Amino acid sequence: MIFDLKNKTAVITGGNSGIGLAISQVFSRQGASVHVLDLNTPDTESNPKDDPITYHICNISDQKAVREVFDQISSNEGLDILINNAGIAHVGNVEATEEKDLDALYQVNIKGVYNCIKAAVPYMSAKSKGVIINMASIASSVGISDRFAYSMTKGAVLAMTYSVAKDYISKRIRCNSISPARIHTPFVDGFIKNNYPGREAEMFDALSKTQPLGRMGTPEEVAHLALYLCSDEASFITGTDFPIDGGFIKLNG
């Protein structure tokens, strides 16, 4: 089977909804043993009762808690794949960004990624093989209005990707990043509902049209890119960022 993940163990952060949930489900279908780290367990509507995925309640900004979960998983199954997907957003320019906003984004989007990589690398290094995917953003590469703090953190994710790829290439640990544009997730629906009550359909259409292809991406499209990058078919790819943006970076402007 192409893109086969059988006999591989994958840890996915923020895997209870949106992109993380799609990656978890796709990887599980491809045979991986999937472990999700999140602050909450999934609701029954988004996950079937016979869900084969294992869930761990974990705050990724807590290094001790992260290490304990990784030790538990890796001592039993080993570790082949890490998907750093968990992240939080903030809307506002530098004047509209308070210290508490910056600190909150740092804790999850930067420190959380660092904590998980730090916990995963020793296990991957021990067997000289592993794949790390960091979820960056188009905001890592181009200016986005009113995304000061978010862009800062996603720029750091991109830099961490290059650094880890360089430092651990001799250990055959591949590290790449994915940079989505606007993806239709429950977060987007909630943002529109909270900020534009009564105008949901209008604003959804307007936001969709900001993408050159005229629509938002889907979580499944991002998941399929992640699947390829984590498969043996992508064994010659490392230290690279992969935009999945409907043409946003190159065709806007």
Q: Which residues are catalytic?
A: 150
| Structure-token match 């230290």, residue found | 239
CA–CA dist 149, 92 (Å, integer): 8
CA–CA dist 197, 190 (Å, integer): 10
Query: What three-state secondary structure class fits 68?
Result: helix
CA–CA dist 210, 217 (Å, integer): 12
186 contacts: CB under 8 Å, gap ≥ 6: 17, 18
Could you give the maximum distance between any two Cα atoms of the chain, in Å? 55
Using alpha carbons, list the distances in angstroms from residue 238 to 58, 121, 144, 162, 242: 28, 15, 26, 9, 11
CA–CA dist 246, 204 (Å, integer): 16
Neighbours of 76 (CB within 10 A): 9
Which helix (H) or strand (E) is 244 found in, with range?
strand 241-244
Amino acid making up residue 233: E
Q: Which of 112, 129, 88 is nearest to 37 (CA)?
A: 112
Q: E strands of 105-158, at which residues?
A: 130-135
